[in-house]
Structure 1
Amino acid sequence: MDADAWRRTLQAAADGLELRPPADAGEIAAVELRLGIGLPAELRGLYEATDGILDKPGEWFVMWRLGDVARWNLEAWNGWESGDRRRLLGFGDDGTGAPFCVALDGEPTIFIWSPIEQEARALAPNLREFWLGWLSGQITT
């Protein structure tokens, strides 16, 4: 999906959410350099549409801002998380600290990582289906 399609999709179901302004190419490149990886194409397109999604009632970023993506993934990869977490890129969370992740091997499945159990569980087959399910309440954690 391109940035315009993402914004239309998210705004249509964004009751109670605040979409941040889009991230620019320079911001995305800086995060990729800091992480030492390229963002998966689908996630890159989403960040080109919005640099984070704030859940206003819950007061948390259900989709993290790019700077937080870099910081929180580096902490997880270099910290106490298991090696399996290093194969995932977190991009948001469910409000309890369990991050939503995409695999770095190119698999489009969206996962939730359990910091307690140190394992991932599949939530949706791709990023678009994840957001449609999350925003409609069909996907919960």
Structure 2
Amino acid sequence: MDAAAWRDLLRDGHGWLELQPPVDPDEIAAAEVRLGVTFPSELRGLFRATDGIYDKRGQWFVLWRLEDVVQRNLEAGNGLDYATRRLLSIGDDGTGAPFCITLDGESAVFSWSPIEREARPLAPGLRKFWLGWLAGEIST
């Protein structure tokens, strides 16, 4: 999805989401270099649409700002097994359980349990995740 399609999907009837200004493609590329990964195209498109998605009802960033994605993944404080799972934390559910995507090009979305140290599948891609999240069909 391109940036305009992402903004339309996330704005359409969801006044409780606050979109941030878009991220410059050069900043996205720099973040990939810092992390040593290549973002799936869906994630690049999402960041070109917004630098984070703030939930005004719950008062937290469901999708973290790009700099937070970089910092939190570099710190690896979530106990994620990046080597075997190839997961990237991109946000959280408001309780501290990170949302992660796979880095294999498919951008499947998982919820990571820091206590159980395992990933639970939520959606086969970012678009389906956001459609389910906005419809209340996906919860953690």
- d(CA) in 2 for partners of 1:98, 1:75: 16
Aligned match of 1:19: 19
How many residue pairs are counted as aligned between the two chains? 139
Matching residue of 1:113: 112
Structure 1's 116 and 61: CA in aligned 2 closer, same or farther, altered over 3 A? same
Given that 1:64 and 1:92 are in contact with CA atoms closer than 8 Å, whether structure 2 keeps it comes out as: yes
Residue among 72, 78, 81 paired with 2:79: 81
Percent same amino acid at aligned positions?
A: 64
Instruction: Provide the TM-score with structure 2 as the length reference.
Output: 0.92
Shift of 1:95: 0.3
Contact 2:101 2:109 in 1 (8 A): yes
Residues 116 and 17 (structure 1), Cα distance of their counterparts in 2 relative to 1, 3 Å cut: same
Distance in 2 between the 1:13 and 1:39 partners? 28
Contact 1:13 1:135 in 2 (8 A): no
Name 1:129's counterpart in structure 2.
128
SS at match of 2:129: helix
User: CA distance change for structure 1 residues 84 and 24 in 2, over 3 Å: closer, same or farther?
Assistant: closer
> Does the 8 Å contact 1:13/1:136 carry over to 2?
no
Could you list the runs of 5+ residues in structure 1 that have no partner in the other structure? none
CA–CA distance in structure 1, aligned partners of residues 13 and 82 of structure 2: 32
Which deviates the most, 99-108 or 50-59?
Answer: 99-108
* 3-state secondary structure, aligned to 1:129: helix
Deviation for aligned residue 1:80: 6.8
- Post-superposition offset of 1:91: 0.8
Q: Is the 8 A contact 2:10 2:17 kept in 1?
A: no
State the AA in 2 paired with 1:46: L
Give me the TM-score of the superposition, normalised by structure 1: 0.92
Offset from partner CA, 1:110-131 (integer Å, 9 cap, x none): 1111111100010011111100
CA RMSD, aligned part only? Answer: 1.6
Residue 60 (structure 2) aligns with = 60
Cα deviation 1:58-96 (Å, max 9, x = unaligned): 1110000000000011112xx571525762011111001
